[in-house]
Amino acid sequence: MRAASAPGAARLSIDFSRNSAQVARRLIGVTLLIDGVGGIIVETEAYDREDPASHSFSGPTARNAVMFGPPGHAYVYLSYGIHWCLNFVCEPKGSASAVLIRAIEPMAGLAVMRRRRGVADERLLCSGPGRLCEALRITALQNGLALDRPPFELFARQGEVEIVTGPRIGITKAADKPWRYGLKGSRFLSKPFKPEA
DNA sequence: TGCCCGATTAACT
DNA sequence: GTTAATCGGGCAA
* Residue-wise pLDDT tens digits, A128-157: 999 999 999 999 999 999 999 899 999 998
Give CA–CA dist A46/A121, Å, rounded: 28
Evaluate if the CB of A47 falls below 7 Å from strand B. Answer: yes
Evaluate if the CB of A157 falls below 7 Å from strand B. Answer: no
> For residue A15, what pLDDT band results from cuts at 50, 70 and 90?
confident
SS3 content of chain A, % helix, strand, coil (to 5): 15, 25, 55
Evaluate if the CB of A64 falls below 7 Å from strand C. Answer: yes
pTM: 0.91
pLDDT at A8 > cutoff 50? no
Give CA–CA dist A53/A48, Å, rounded: 9
Determine contact, residues A182/A166, Cβ cutoff 8 Å.
yes
